[in-house]
Every structure is written in structure tokens, then in C-alpha cells.
Amino acid sequence: MAQVDEGRIGRVLDRLEASHPGAQVLVTDPWSIYYLTGFYAEMFERFSGVLLRRGVRPVVFVNALHRLGPFDNADVVVFDDTDDIFAILAAHIDPAVPLGIDAQMRSGFLLPLIERGVAASFFLGSDAVARTRAIKDAREQDLMRRSSRINDQVMADLPGLLHEGVTEHEVAAQMLSLYRSHGADDFSFPPIVSFGANAADPHHEPDGTRLAAGQAVLFDIGGRLEGYCSDMTRTFLWGEADAETLRIHDVVRRANEAAEAMIRPGVRFCDVDRCARSIIEEAGYGPYFTHRLGHSIGLQDHEPGDVSAINEDRIEVGMTFSIEPGIYLPGRTGVRIEDLVLVREDGAEILNVYPKDARRIDG
């Protein structure tokens, strides 16, 4: 018989109790449900959730289309498409107690619950789950390392896919087979392949642009291993690059390495962002670094929490996040260098080992 993860649920409830004593929380984000129960399914327009409250058995709500066996430490409520899900939820939610709602709950579910007054009040309760997920346990840390190791191997294979005239789309189309050949299950996000001026678009989607001499080649790639994501960016040079591309590559690399060097428990995320950003600003490219320095990562490529100028939270042991400064010169070129870091007591463990120098590749 399956079990919900009592340790993780306990840590979620500890955080919930610290901010909302006695409250209950309804978790509806599919990855958070998986984190707590081991069950994952995309419900689309259907409902699924886990109701948590200290001293009460967890309740897992699932549509009958998704087979879910019983848990020996939680109740499972199965319903079908003709059932009144709001009445079912109301029968389990304590109307005298505040109810935490996670940020992913659709308004089509939330508003009827509010209208029916199923709880004493409602508040955003996803922070308790997000902050628990942010601290990876030993098994999660191992999976993050292994997933990133595969990403390094795939990155090492990518220069071999390049030749004069190949298109971004043709390169991207070969990547899934590479990930699977190295043991990954899937992408963690669609790969970014950018040649030349396309590298100035941080989220460029591969298209029919053909590789030509003198271009920057930016790869932002990630795979998934047993649910856990990797993410890394490297910028190569195809043939002889111009002086400014070499200059911004050096600036971005220095910003990346300086930020990683200051990571340790207790440091504020905003200060890490400022460290990298100041190097880019001092080089005269401040307006061309157009995004936050990094994002949290784990079961999802982008999880709640980031490395940004407005995040004054302090770094904790067990967190995993990206460090990815970039400079983007519209219509000309762009460079981004990204690693994942795992926070340890003595600083940052860099999960990517693939070199980040201005590497020339020309077949």
C-alpha cells in the first residue's frame, strides 16, 4: 500500500503553522501533489488536490479517470465528471478554519469555494509548500547532480551537430535522442538554439536560421531525470568572432563566476544578483542584461523563488537555483552563461562542469 510522504507534509505544516496557526491548506499544483504523494497527473479542466491540516489525516482528491490506489496514511476521495466537486470539497474542509489556497488553483475552482463559504477565510498558502520544496533532501540532491551530469554530457555532444549552413531547428530536433542516449527521461524544457543575432533574444525559439561564420552559438538546454530537472547555458563561437562578442563573453563569464563565489547560507539573493549585475554595469552593458540572475529549480525547471534584485530572502542549505547572467545586443549578438548551484554549508556546489570559456568551434 502506498504512503504519502509524512516528513514532507510535516515540514509543510510546520511552515503553515508558523504563519497561520491552526489553518488548513488545499494543494492543487500537480508537481506539489507529486512531491507530497508520489502521484502525478495533468488534470487539465478537472480537479485534483491534497487537503492538509495538523492533527488530521491528509485527504487526496482525484478524478476516477486517474487510477490511484489507497494510501495507508491518507484518505483518498475519488469522484467522476458528474459529481459536484464543490460539495465534495466542502464535506472535508473545516468551515470554521481559514483555508490556504496555492497560487496554481484556477479561479473556476476557487471562486465557487469562496461563494459557498466553505472556510472561515481564504489566504495564499502556497508559500508553505514552495519553501519546503526549495530545500532539497539527500535523494533530491543526488538526482539534481545526476541530472546535471547528463546535461554536461549532452552539451559536450552539441558541437558535433554543427556545420556551416545547418539550421537551429535541425540541431534542436536531434537533442531529445541525445538526452535519452545518456539516460535522461525527457527535456525539462524545449531547448533554445540561437545563432548570431538570435542570441540577443533570451527566449528565442529555434527556427530556420542557418549557421554562418563569425556567429555566436547559444545553447540553453535541460533534461529531466526521475522528475528532476537540469538547466545550463553555454555560448560558443563559430569561427572567428568579432572583438565585441569576445568582450561580452568575458564580462558575462566573470559575472557568473563572481556571483557563484559569494553564495553561502545566510547571503541574500538580491546581493548575489547585485554582484553579477554590477560587473556587467561597470563594463558598460547594464541596459543589456534584461532579466533576473536566476531561478529556483527542482521538479520544475522554474520553481517559486529566484535570484533577483527584489528577493531579500536569505539562501539556505539544500537550495538549488541557476546563476545565468547575460548580455544581449539587439540585432547583433548575445551571450549567456548558466550553471545550477546546490547550496552547502561551506558555499555553492556547482552542478555543471562543462567549460564556460569563449570556446571556438568550427568543425
Mean pLDDT of the chain: 96
Predicted pLDDT at 43: 81
Residue length, the chain? 363
> What is the 8-class DSSP label of residue 355?
-
How large is the average pLDDT for residues 117-144?
97
- The answer to whether the Cα torsion of 26, 28, 32, 34 is positive or negative is positive
How confident is residue 66, by pLDDT bands cut at 50, 70 and 90?
confident
For residue 218, what is its C-alpha cell? 547559444
Task: Measure Cα distances from 273 to 127, 147, 230, 266, 339 in Å.
Answer: 22, 25, 21, 15, 14
pLDDT average, residue stretch 111-127: 96
* In contact, 325 and 256? CB cutoff 8 Å: yes
Q: Residue 112: is its pLDDT beyond 60?
A: yes
Residue 233: strand pairing partners? 220, 338
Q: Which of the four pLDDT bands, split at 50, 70 and 90, describes residue 158?
A: very high
CA angle 32, 34, 37 (to 5 degrees): 110
Helix (H) or strand (E) holding 306: strand 303-307
Is-contact 152 231, C-beta < 8 A? no
Smallest CA-to-CA distance from 181 within 214, 153, 159 is with 153
DSSP code of 209? P
* Residue 53 to residues 68, 99, 121, Cα–Cα distance (Å): 21, 10, 15
Which residues, in sequence order, are bridge partners of residue 333? 329
Query: What residues have CB less than 8 Å from 45, skipping those under 6 apart?
Result: none
Phi, psi of 18 (to 5 degrees): -65, -30
Whole-number pLDDT of residue 86: 96
From the candidate CATH numbers 3.40.350.10, 3.30.1330.60, 3.10.20.30, 3.40.50.1100, the one assigned to the domain spanning 6-133: 3.40.350.10
Yes or no: say if 314 and 267 are a contact pair by the CB < 8 Å rule: yes
pLDDT tier at 69, thresholds 50, 70, 90: confident
Cα(97)–Cα(120) distance, rounded to whole angstroms? Answer: 5
* CA distances (Å), origin 181, targets 37, 185, 324: 30, 9, 27
Examine the pLDDT at 5 and tell me if it is beyond 60. yes
By the 10 Å C-beta count (0-12 exposed, 13-18 middle, 19+ buried), 24 is classed as buried
Containing H/E element for 342?
Answer: strand 339-344
Inter-axis angle of helices 126-134 and 30-37, to 10 degrees?
Answer: 60
Q: How distant, in Å, are the alpha carbons of 155, 233, 295, 299 from that of 186?
A: 15, 17, 20, 13
Give me the residues paired with residue 216 across strands: 237
Rounded Cα distance, 149 and 65, in Å: 37
CATH superfamily assigned to domain 135-350: Creatinase/methionine aminopeptidase superfamily (3.90.230.10)
DSSP-assigned states of every residue in 248-295: HHHHHHHHHHHHHHT--TT-BHHHHHHHHHHHHHHTT-GGG--S-SEE
Looking at residue 68, what is its pLDDT?
Answer: 85
Roughly how many angstroms between the first and final C-alpha of the chain, as a whole number?
A: 55
**Set of cell numbers at residue 195:** 545563432
Q: At what angle do helices 6-19 and 30-37 cross, to 10 degrees?
A: 120
Domain boundaries, given as residue ranges, for the chain: 6-133, 135-350
Structure-model confidence comparison of residues 168 and 68, the more confident one = 168
CA 196 to chain centre: 27
- C-alpha cell at position 74: 491518507
* pLDDT given at position 1: 61
* Mean pLDDT of the 85-98 span: 97
Q: What is the mean pLDDT of residues 59-69?
A: 90
